[in-house]
Chain A
């Protein structure tokens, strides 16, 4: 929610949430999963199986798998902004393993023996696999701690959001729109449906995508309503965007809340279906009418919501903040139609 228009969050996001994951670089993957035959001889070339390997001609020493190796050496060797070997999805992959069920029922099914000591170890290098899991988890924790620190009273992210009230409010509202329409409806949901790839979902190893989408939506609703139910059930609440919008336009606030509820209903339907066995990767199957309807229900809700957000931005007189020189647009003579 606070990611868009806030580089402190946006530039960081790829370190913890990069997707897809280069799983073949991390650990063994099933050669049966596809890919050209001549690639298969390289399937064993992963960090867990190889204390030393080459990447783009650079020799990487991975004898000790440390957070530093994952964060710096691998990142540098590949030069990408998002780290495709670390973050939530790396941990998800190490815990669940590949989902080899396609559009069929079932998630990743990594046996516990992949981490077993001694002779019980399967698929070799259990100690290195455990080392990778530990390093990736430590790295994620330190990234999350860093991000929490940015939002403390003295934190940089808080300071930049609070520096100018109007700009801050505009960032929150446009952030809602960017997350809803651009990121979630577009990149995360519609794109997967177009590709009909069972693993073109947010949490493909664990089949937990329905929760990611649901709680992304809920997070936006929480911000608008200024409330949050803690995991122990306690409600935290305070002044909200909803109050602010209602102060100038009650009807618009009602519309916003209605549309947020509609979106949550649609995302909830996806979650209910997935929780009872019809998983997101099954919904993505080409020709699956019910699955497509569920996902498009979410997409439509998110898109429709964005219209009201845009109205809220202009109702609050905040649109002038994001754009400079908008007056030429109010002057019809300046634009030929």
Chain B
């Protein structure tokens, strides 16, 4: 199966504030964004401002406001990562807040009175987006013997065949979901159902000797899909542990026009800067 959608960046619905970016026609169009087209003048100015510096002897101009007028200032509270861009219009804050409402909304098992909030399960990782992306910050792996592993999970896939490749993208490594468990293991289930698994993490400490006699201890995690609820995984199953990433900055990422990303991809490193990027089209 080939993916067809062409949104170029992962986006979290309704939660990111948009400041405007270039408009593109065709497959890389971004219809969900409220895009303010850039004039050639603006594009030129932005290019000038964002060109990396060659000298490191002093602070770069605009360094303290790396997102321009959208830069959010530091705040010392648990809501530090939950702010809209600074130059969001007052009227647009309602959209931001409604999006935040969806993000924090709890889902419940069906049938229930709330027709718009039920349908949770039968298996799930969390009842809301916010339960993994707590306060929009980066999450953490469970400690030894934690009773649950909210905010960390195992992705699962099996190797794909040649015809599953995404031919348009050179070097694309295709995989398929596990035939029983899908692409993500879920450690909760609504009443009466079995959860898919329990994430077990065991850590082993390794002592490393440093050059001047000190030692440091490094921790090796070992992840295991335990207590599988629906039989064994596929024999070629590959596991990939993931923590919930931070949400902060997604609005800024979204404001980067797809055209800029494609223009800078440089898969063959023709410019010789040692970076050969490939745009991941999802």
A→B interface (CB under 8 Å): 5, 7, 10, 18-25, 29-31, 33-36, 39-40, 42-43, 45-46, 53-57, 76, 78-82, 84, 98-99, 181-182, 185-188, 190-191, 194-195, 197-200, 204-205, 299, 303, 307, 322-326, 328-329, 333-337
Contact = CB atoms under 8 A, between A and B. Distances in A.
Q: Which range holds the interface residue count of chain B?
A: 35 or more
B113 A187 contact: no
Nearest to B62: A336
B159 interface: no
Nearest to A19: B106
A20 B65 CA distance: 40
B110 interface: yes
Contact of B113 (A56, A99, A181, A337): A99
B116 A197 contact: yes
B189 A40 contact: no
Contacts of A53: 191-192
A42 B114 contact: no
Interface in B53-80: 61-62, 64-65, 68-69, 71, 73-79
A99 B147 CA distance: 36
Given A78-B127, A186-B100, A56 B111 contact: no
11 contacts: A5-B79, A20-B106, A39-B111, A57-B195, A57-B229, A197-B115, A197-B117, A325-B74, A328-B65, A328-B73, A335-B62
A193 B115 CA distance: 13
Given A187-B97, A322-B75, A336-B68, A45 B115 contact: no
Given A328-B64, A335-B65, A34 B106 contact: no
Contact of B108 (A21, A79, A307, A329): A21
Given A34-B115, A80-B126, A324 B76 contact: yes
A115 to B, nearest CB: 20
Nearest to B110: A35
Contacts of B105: 191
B122 to A, nearest CB: 8
B109 to A, nearest CB: 5
B102 interface: yes
A19 B107 CA distance: 9
Given A76-B147, A334-B64, A336-B62, A194 B113 contact: no
A307 B74 CA distance: 22
B234 interface: no
Secondary structure of the B contact surface, majority rule? loop
Nearest to B128: A80
A19 B105 CA distance: 8
A35 B90 contact: no
B30 interface: no
A233 B253 CA distance: 55
A40 B145 CA distance: 35
Interface string B27-67: 00000000000000000010001000000000001101100
A57 B168 CA distance: 43
Max chain A CB contacts within 10 Å: which of B93, B114, B128? B114
B271 interface: no
Contact of B106 (A76, A79, A80, A197): A80
Given A20-B114, A23-B113, A187 B104 contact: yes
Contacts of B90: 307
Nearest to A81: B131
B94 A7 contact: no
Nearest to A4: B79
A324 B108 contact: no
B113 A204 contact: yes
B194 interface: yes
A56 B65 contact: no
A177 B260 CA distance: 37
A79 B150 contact: yes
Given A42-B192, A57-B229, A335-B62, A191 B102 contact: yes
Contacts of B98: 186-187, 190-191, 194
Contact of A40 (B111, B147, B187): B111
B227 interface: yes
B264 interface: no
Contacts of A191: 98, 101-102, 105
A149 B233 CA distance: 51
A200 B227 contact: no
Contact of A23 (B78, B97, B112): B112
B75 A324 contact: yes
Given A35-B119, A45-B191, A78-B188, A323 B112 contact: no
B112 A33 contact: yes
Contacts of B94: 181, 185-186, 190, 299, 303
Given A185-B97, A328-B64, A335-B62, A200 B111 contact: no
A7 B131 CA distance: 17
Max chain B CB contacts within 10 Å: which of A24, A99, A185, A204? A24
A199 B76 CA distance: 37
B113 A33 contact: yes
B280 interface: no
